[in-house]
Structure 1
Amino acid sequence: MTAIDNTAIRPDEAIDRDWWRGCVIYQIYPRSFQDSNGDGIGDLAGIVQRLPYIASLGVDAIWISPFFTSPMKDFGYDVSDYCDVDPMFGTLADFDTLVDTAHRLGVRVLIDLVVSHTSDQHPWFKESRSSRHNPKSDWYVWSNSKPDGTAPSNWLSVFGGPAWQWDTKREQYYMHNFLVEQPDLNFHNPDVQNAVLNVAKFWLEKGVDGFRLDTLNFYFHDDQLRSNPVMPEEFRTDICAPKVNPYNYQEHKYDRNRPEMFGFLQRFRALLDEYNATSVGEVGDGQRGLEIIGEYTSGNDKVHMCYAFDMLSSERPTAQRLAEIFERSESAVAGGWLCWAFSNHDCKRHTSRWNLSHQAQSLLTSFMMSARGSACIYQGEELALEEADVAFEDLQDPYGISFWPEFAGRDGCRTPMVWDGSNQHAGFSTAPRTWLPVSDAHRQKSPETMEKAQGAILHHYRRAIAFRHAHPALMKGDYQDIAVDGSVLSFIRVLNGQQVFCAFNLSDSAAEVTMPTGAWQTIGTELGGAVAAGGQTVGLDPWQPAFAARQTT
């Protein structure tokens, strides 16, 4: 492993209060990152053990998926105590050690805040369901049935079936956008908003640098409980749910994306600003995703940035498609900020999803680190890990079990990380059996192996991240001259007189790009970039980039 200077200090926030613009975030799925105690499940102490490796990538921050106390019906996204660590992951003291270690390595810490819903085992819900008149009776979304006993609206759960569950204690329905065991909080209630803000403050006081806000656009529902209209077939997408899921059949006009959201976001942002902390909102919407992101991130008084789904789709990126995404984002998110990702814990790994060669994976990594917005990479992405094959009998994800075999669920992207060749579980765990099996196909791509291979994608990720940090225009600059010429996408990033020209041949065939005129200097040859001179036509090999820079003031 690359040696790390453990004396590295946390960046001076007083100098760069918008450190989050253009930052690179490394997502950790804690169950599958590193097991420190031999129980077959990753934990916080395991993350601490691997923080030097993460820091060696050059990332600015980590995002840790949920580790709170939970019955684990949805593997931590069903929280029963927001202010404690589930024993399978460790203790609050372990979390303190994690934050301190990360900060010494110059890495900020973001955690996943899952507050659109709780577990049905949360004390709030237990009290709420106990009667119709207790102090928390209105903390969740409850409704009487229609006169015929059916649910109050046609709303559907993302995980299949109706979004309403009958409760025999209250003789009412409660809403759940996901599992039946994940009842939705009622954000129309000011007490709920205050409780959520207190949870955020608890973790800010413990030193976290911000939050990834799970299912942000699901927080509020229509208080009249109006039924959703039908989604025309031609607009149904699989971004939020697989095509076999009838959730796609509705235009989700009333069960998410509600205008009441803005007042709460302003309260949340005011709290974050007190701590110079950031926020990354997850906004899943196959039709208006970028437009909603623009609304949620505009004006410097709501969410700092939002996680875009456009590059998480199954549609393979082409020059034309990427240009269209950029042009839409420039229009829809002009006053806000995006966070891009190719992979995460909820979707098929992009190496498999797009069937990428080594050259294509490298080019797309360089592209990601050149795009306007922040960047999020998912654990193992830097090793070019493919989607793992998980047998039905080994599945853990309730989503996949429900829709098998047409949709295999999310376990294939959640299998344990491989680290070395030290044992049967590739350094992840010493347990006889791990919570999901280690992929045999992954074993040859461990960091131990990659470090020794000169052309390994791991080294390219380090170089691409360093390249981004070396050029402020790539971190925080605007776009100029987004253009497509055949298979080549090109654009210029501009900041304070610095201009960086970027071109990408997204093709298995050779191509050409004409450089803009002027005194441009070739950069990015460490990323395999072609030598580029101002005003000249530059030949690009398949999946080759070209970069050049100049200072105009």
Structure 2
Amino acid sequence: MTKARWWRGAVIYQIYPRSFLDTNGDGVGDLPGIIARLDYIASLGVDAIWISPFFKSPMADFGYDIADYRDVDPLFGTLDDFDRLLAKAHSLGIRVMIDQVLSHTSIEHAWFKESRESADNPKADWYVWADAKPDGTPPNNWLSLFGGVAWRWEPRRRQYFLHNFLSSQPDLNFHNPAVREATLDNVRFWLDRGVDGLRLDAINFCFHDAQLRDNPPKPEALRTGRGFSPDNPYAFQYHWYNNTQPENLAFLEELRALLDRYPDATTLGEISSEDSLATMAEYVNDQRLHMGYSFELLTDDFSAAYIRGTVEALEAKMRDGWPCWAISNHDVQRAVTRWNPGAPLCDTLARQLVALVCSLRGSVCLYQGEELGLPEADVPFEALQDPYGIAFWPNFKGRDGCRTPLPWNGDAQAGFSAAAPWLPVADAHLQRSVAIQDAQPDSVLNGVRHLLRWRKDHPALVLGDIAFLDAPEPVLAFTRRDTDEALLAVFNLSGEAVRWPLPAHLGSARVLADHGLLGGEVIDGVLQLPPRGVFYAHID
């Protein structure tokens, strides 16, 4: 990888700072906690970290509601702490990416406080304001992702403001050039500070339809997708007008022009639209975003056909861009639970899932705890913090189950804090702590360490093209090829042993057995894979 393209094929470790390590005894993780564990992160063999928001915020959505884009919330530390984090990470060869939440702010942001006072102040048009209908109801039928209408009445202006998320997260008006300029200036602040990349939250939500047209209804049979079950009225509409507007493309090009002045920095856009793969293909290229990822592999479907279909669909559409894949993050149920529901914990599955996502063409986001094989935590209602989960309990428990503290040891508070953590530590996590797994050569943790270093020795897995092979369920098979290497990768996605005749056109398959995973063997041209087995081989 050239220096300016370090991000291609990179493994990016996502840190949710509230739950990583608390150093000041308030029960909430902080930036000094990340600094204290950077050596651990380096030991994993990842290329970069992505830190979820640590900016000044009232924490209604735990940092994704920003009140000051240029300051660290005291809950997490100071700007000096961030500078120390950046310097230490760089000394360890780790790049640092930070979250940027551009489409909306907190209701406590100074911009919004000024904007709401009148319709004729300097920032009056910085947010999306609209008059009520004659009967006093909101200007259109748009809905919030967190449930209910996407408009909140502001008595000072006698108007509604738009909020695609919480009612305390007003949407900025990106049709206003001054908003775009101020947003880019905030981004520049962190680039000048030395960050290596930006993860762009909900980047397709920056623009709204200027005509405020109603979203059309969606047939009941199509009301599916991550978090958009029929329990959530958000699923009742096609979201054609409240996000993913054509004007956003020009803004992405403005953003890329800024990034091009920092040639070693990158962007990773989070994209969730009516057709996320098509939007990714449109957003990710040499003039717009460097990378994009969506929620397509963060669903409940763990079939070989679904994974193949998703990757092939993106490959067909995104000819010029670079994808990034994730199977877990801070917004969804942890993968080892989501993709093996009701079954006992399986270390072999945990290792296989990391291998799978690290074998697809693109970069990779690994969420803290994936390297430990952590299952979803069961957080009781009285301990819930996530407003999304509280609103939709009991059918949807929200996002707290994947956000509980990282277990560093087996103590009562998991070595995370000297105080009661902001979310309870799961008992099942204590047995899978870093301290315990560090001492076990065959643990998930040590398996992931080995795998990530092994992957770097195989350029086909880092940068090569991908082509899928026909195989019956539950076998997922594909090749990865670059100019120096050609590999076959085969995954048995089931808990039963399988047999699969190797395609003759691949030629001889020279088995790679040094990846540390539960492998298979070829007998008379037939690959025999154990449950959750993984097979890699050099091919012609």
TM-score by length of 2: 0.96
CA distance in 2, matches of 1:368, 1:336: 18
Counterpart selection for 1:143 from 130, 145, 166? 130
Which residue of structure 2 lines up, in the alignment, with residue 279 of structure 1? Answer: 267
Which residue of structure 2 lines up, in the alignment, with residue 195 of structure 1? Answer: 182
The question of whether the paired residues in 1 share the 8 Å contact of 2:50 and 2:98 is answered with: yes
Q: How does 1:28-177 map to 2 (within 5 A)?
A: 28-177=15-164
CA distance in 2, matches of 1:89, 1:335: 38
Which residue of structure 2 lines up, in the alignment, with residue 505 of structure 1? Answer: 492
Which residue of structure 2 lines up, in the alignment, with residue 339 of structure 1? Answer: 324
CA distance in 2, matches of 1:523, 1:255: 49
Opposite residue 351 of structure 1, the aligned amino acid is: V
Opposite residue 413 of structure 2, the aligned amino acid is: H
The question of whether the paired residues in 2 share the 8 Å contact of 1:518 and 1:534 is answered with: no
Q: Is 1:376 the counterpart of 2:373 in the alignment?
A: no
CA distance in 2, matches of 1:270, 1:525: 43
Counterpart selection for 1:354 from 339, 363, 373? 339
Opposite residue 449 of structure 1, the aligned amino acid is: I
The question of whether the paired residues in 1 share the 8 Å contact of 2:283 and 2:289 is answered with: yes
Deviates more, 1:358-367 or 1:261-270: 358-367
CA distance in 2, matches of 1:125, 1:179: 15
SS in 1 for 2:181: helix
Opposite residue 277 of structure 1, the aligned amino acid is: A
Q: How does 1:518-537 map to 2 (within 5 A)?
A: 518-528=507-517, 530=519, 536-537=525-526
> Quick one: structure 1 residues 368 and 524, their matched pair in 2 at CA, closer, same or farther if it must change by over 3 Å?
farther
Which residue of structure 2 lines up, in the alignment, with residue 385 of structure 1? Answer: 374
The question of whether the paired residues in 1 share the 8 Å contact of 2:223 and 2:229 is answered with: no
The question of whether the paired residues in 2 share the 8 Å contact of 1:480 and 1:492 is answered with: yes
Identity %: 51
Q: Is 1:253 the counterpart of 2:236 in the alignment?
A: no
Opposite residue 530 of structure 2, the aligned amino acid is: D
Task: Give the Å deviation of 1:21.
Answer: 1.1
SS in 1 for 2:260: helix
The question of whether the paired residues in 2 share the 8 Å contact of 1:21 and 1:475 is answered with: yes
Task: Give the Å deviation of 1:533.
Answer: 6.6
CA distance in 2, matches of 1:234, 1:331: 27
SS in 2 for 1:165: strand
CA distance in 2, matches of 1:447, 1:377: 16
In structure 1, list runs of 5 or more residues that go unmatched.
Answer: 1-12
Paired residues in the alignment total 533
Which residue of structure 1 lines up, in the alignment, with residue 475 of structure 2? Answer: 488
CA distance in 2, matches of 1:428, 1:244: 35
CA distance in 2, matches of 1:527, 1:371: 18
Q: Is 1:238 the counterpart of 2:201 in the alignment?
A: no
SS in 1 for 2:511: strand
Opposite residue 271 of structure 2, the aligned amino acid is: V
Q: CA RMSD in A?
A: 1.7
CA distance in 2, matches of 1:539, 1:72: 51
Which residue of structure 2 lines up, in the alignment, with residue 427 of structure 1? Answer: 415
SS in 1 for 2:297: helix
Task: Give the Å deviation of 1:522.
Answer: 1.9
Task: Give the Å deviation of 1:232.
Answer: 1.6
Task: Give the Å deviation of 1:497.
Answer: 4.0
CA distance in 1, matches of 2:506, 2:309: 25
CA distance in 2, matches of 1:464, 1:273: 33
Task: Give the Å deviation of 1:76.
Answer: 0.6
Task: Give the Å deviation of 1:38.
Answer: 0.8
The question of whether the paired residues in 1 share the 8 Å contact of 2:9 and 2:363 is answered with: yes
Query: Deviation string for 1:476-518 (max 9, x for gaps)?
Result: 1111343323321111111114211111111222222315443
Opposite residue 295 of structure 2, the aligned amino acid is: F
Task: Give the Å deviation of 1:332.
Answer: 2.2
Q: Is 1:302 the counterpart of 2:288 in the alignment?
A: yes
Task: Give the Å deviation of 1:524.
Answer: 4.2
SS in 2 for 1:485: coil
Q: Is 1:228 the counterpart of 2:215 in the alignment?
A: yes
Counterpart selection for 1:418 from 407, 427, 437? 407
> Quick one: structure 1 residues 242 and 347, their matched pair in 2 at CA, closer, same or farther if it must change by over 3 Å?
farther
Counterpart selection for 1:540 from 526, 529, 532? 529
Query: Deviation string for 1:345-399 (max 9, x for gaps)?
Result: 1111111112263222222221111111111111111111111111111111111
CA distance in 1, matches of 2:519, 2:350: 17
CA distance in 2, matches of 1:80, 1:439: 32
SS in 2 for 1:492: strand
Deviates more, 1:442-451 or 1:532-541: 532-541
CA distance in 1, matches of 2:519, 2:376: 31
Counterpart selection for 2:275 from 288, 294, 297? 288
Which residue of structure 1 lines up, in the alignment, with residue 463 of structure 2? Answer: 476
Task: Give the Å deviation of 1:324.
Answer: 1.2
